[in-house]
Amino acid sequence: MNRIKSQIDINSDTFKQNKSEYLKILNKYKTILNEVSKGGPESSRERHKKRGKLLARERIELLIDKNTPFIELSALASFNQYDNSFPSAGIVTGIGVIHGKETIIIANDATVKGGTYIRQTIKKHIRAQEIAMENHLPCVYMVDSGGVFLPEQANVFPDKFDFGRFFYNQARLSAKKIPQISIVMGSCTAGGAYVPAMSDETIIVKNQGTIFIGGPPLVKAATGEEVSAEELGGADVHTSISGVADHLAMNDAHAIEICRNIFETIPDTHYEKTEINSIEPPYYDPEELYGILPIDLKKPVDSKEIIARIVDGSRFQEFKARYAPTITTGFAKIMGYNVGIIANNGVLFSETALKGAHFVELCTSRNIPILFLQNITGFIVGKQYERNGIARDGAKFVHAVANANVPKFTVVFGGSFGAGNYAMAGRAYDPRFLFMYPNSKISVMGGEQAANVLITITQEKMKAEGKDVNLDEIEKIRKEILDKYEEEGSAYYSTSRLWDDGIIDPIDTRKIIGLAIAISKNNIDEETKYGVFRM
């Protein structure tokens, strides 16, 4: 493959200014992430430690292989919601390596409202199980939870993708022969008791872990029986009498050691391996992304400059380089794995959509994963384009992406607006993973476009009613819409609601996508089949 020739002057004032501005954005993100990663309030963390318990992220660090990364997912879930009283939505999820096996880890954070579940906690837990199912990854549940956050019960209990979905997913994972191990390190009550009960093997910590359908207060209210938590569902009961748990641990560290021992007996998943010596780092320094990525989304960015700092050797075999240049398509390697890349260079025209659909077909016919790099304002609008069939041609691209049964990965490096989000494998199109950069934006359209649309509608309404156009009212509408779209279009608003799998530092893209491609090889996809393309 040919090496991309960068046109960026890293010594220019423009580059240096952009980098300086981007680092401010990045530092804000890292400051927020650092604070959220502490877990619950200091008083709760101290109380937790005095009980001899490790914090959730400490447990994970001890569980995974030494000197291997843990890719945390949706770390800022519920950020700026619930008065920020549920950092990370009270649960830590991600991908770690245990005895060389990539594993989904789901760990309750009991320092956050006793590890109870709000809407985002439910969504995050289910999303982690989906990733395990899609990629055939074993699961470890580090259970320390009081169950449903009762004031939120109407939002977390009855619907299809609410609390009960956990156990449905566990049954489905088990049927697919995907190993699931539970470590009960604290409370595990009510419906939550089914998490360990439906796992392949369960470890419980003595004088610390408890499992029961109804706790002591409920038992007393229902039957009049008085019983302690330990007598009702402690480690001795479940490892020697009920058989609900299989292994007795003396403390957190011992429980984690037992879990790691279990993983020694779990067979390796067979997937495509790459030779370490065949992996070539990018020719251009990934840190140069800070000087390239868009601060002002109105300014164009050549997506090949992004690709050059992500792929092996900065090498890229471009497809249809001279045709429909508002989209870049081609083949590369990331951490030794073949990947097709589709990246935005501007608005989507009919020919752009056709080029994208053609390239998706190539990738599916060759069984090559696809990485979508989004910086998209949407499809072109106007009389000429509608008459030329932009909706028909755009539908081809959407159709191809929706039915592509190869692993899809999406990174939003700029804007993600309108139907362009769909064609470029937005969340609704089931990419295996979707990540955002801290500068990125996502909404149905840009704030200024939305404001202008609503102002035009308001002006026409005033004229139809015979009223004079009130300029003060118009400016008020403009400001309200701009402020609304600025807030709701931000990466923080998106990640708080789990519209993505997390905000990432741009220089980690290569590592994260490389791991994502590696684990996607664990599962064989069905053959891609297309329906009717309107011609």
DSSP string, 177-236: T--EEEEEEEEEEGGGGHHHHTSSEEEEETTT-EEESS-HHHHHHHH-----HHHHH-HH
The pair of structure tokens assigned to 54 is 């490790």
Q: Residues 365-412: pLDDT tens digits?
A: 999 999 999 999 889 989 999 999 999 999 999 999 999 999 999 999
CA distances from 304 to 70, 258, 366 (A): 29, 47, 23
**pLDDT at residue 276, as a whole number:** 58
How would you classify the pairing of strands 91-98 and 101-108? antiparallel
- Three-class SS state of 379: strand
Round to whole Å and give the CA distance between 194 and 191.
Answer: 6
> Which amino acid would we find at residue 369?
P
For the chain, residues with pLDDT lower than 70 are: 269-277
**pLDDT at residue 405, as a whole number:** 95
- Three-class SS state of 55: coil
- pTM of this prediction exceeds 0.85: yes
Q: Residues 259-286: pLDDT tens digits?
A: 999 999 998 865 666 555 689 999 999 9
